[in-house]
Amino acid sequence: MSAAPHLSPEAKASLPQHVAVIMDGNGRWARERHLPRIEGHRRGAESAKSIIRTAGEVGIKYLTLYAFSVENWNRPKDEVDALMKYLIHYLKTETPDLNKNNVRLEAIGQIHRLPENVQEQLKKSIATLAKNNGLTLVLALSYGGRTEIVDSVRGIAREVKAGKLDPDAITEKIFSQHLYTRNYPDPDLLIRTSGEMRVSNFLLWQISYAELVITATLWPDFRRPQFFAALEEYAKRHRRFGGI
């Protein structure tokens, strides 16, 4: 995917409302440079900062970043602990800048599984940025698409059991209203870095009609030019939603 330092008029005219990103390749980036994995995550956080700022500047309304999956809990404890500490550090240091840039912060996933100090800092940052009305940044933390769907089914089942919902009245819209993402539109564009051709249990229900852009660029090297290139590719797509 070639670099694009500036967005074309065509891309500006057809910006996706919601961009979701599978930020893959931090470990590979570090390994190729004989660096510890956490250094790849640190550099990856710099890429996230760049993309968040760029998305807000060009007028994208929602940006969802796959920051930590439910499967990531299976990684070595020292790496998970380091990631949690880095998440707290990132939230503390970046919240003022996010506030300056009118970014609203939200989070989806099994947030209750995060360490208490991470949950506390996340709540503080979300509260600080709650009144902003620019880009909505959604961090997917302890998130899994299948887990989300199961949680949605449980919520619907409880309502049916309580007599609040008729099973025959369940529609796609009602199902969507029980997902973690009930307050956001479905992603228009899904970007995956590092060249892997899979969606990795990310927003499985929501990306049913998203346009996919896969780039071989590893996430720590994914910055403004690569993001613009993805937006240019999106502008070339004809979204038919099953029609002609």
Identify the CATH number of the domain in which residue 41 sits. Answer: 3.40.1180.10
Q: Token digits for 93?
A: 């240091």
Total number of domains in the chain = 1
Write down the H helix ranges in the chain: 9-13, 26-32, 37-58, 77-100, 116-128, 145-161, 172-176, 224-235
Tell which residue, 241, 184, 175, has the closest CA to residue 205.
175
Which pLDDT score is estimated for 238? 80
Q: Is residue 159 part of a domain?
A: no
Of the pLDDT bands very low, low, confident and very high (cuts 50, 70, 90), residue 197 is: very high
Give the whole-angstrom CA distance, residue 7 versus residue 81: 39
Matching residue, tokens 């996430």: 219
Q: Is residue 129 part of a domain?
A: yes
Q: Is residue 101 part of a domain?
A: yes
Query: What is the arithmetic mean of pLDDT over 48-55?
Result: 97
Q: Is residue 138 part of a domain?
A: yes
- Which are the catalytic amino acids? 24, 72
What are 130-167's pLDDT values in tens digits? 999 999 999 999 999 999 999 999 999 999 999 999 99
Which pLDDT score is estimated for 156? 98
Which pLDDT score is estimated for 148? 98
Query: What is the arithmetic mean of pLDDT over 17-31?
Result: 96
- Please state, rounded to an integer, the average pLDDT across all residues of the chain: 95
Q: Is residue 118 part of a domain?
A: yes
Sheet (strand 189-192) strand order: 104-108, 136-143, 62-69, 18-22, 189-192, 211-214
Which pLDDT score is estimated for 120? 98
Q: Is residue 11 part of a domain?
A: no
Of the pLDDT bands very low, low, confident and very high (cuts 50, 70, 90), residue 242 is: low
Q: Is residue 48 part of a domain?
A: yes
Answer yes or no: are the C-beta atoms of 20 and 191 closer than 8 Å: yes
Give the whole-angstrom CA distance, residue 84 versus residue 114: 8
Residue 201, phi then psi, degrees to nearest 5 = 65, 35
Of the pLDDT bands very low, low, confident and very high (cuts 50, 70, 90), residue 6 is: confident
Q: Is residue 178 part of a domain?
A: no
Which pLDDT score is estimated for 45? 94
Residue 179, phi then psi, degrees to nearest 5 = -80, 165
Range of the domain at 51: 17-144+187-235
The yes-or-no verdict on residue 4 having pLDDT over 80 is no
Which pLDDT score is estimated for 176? 97
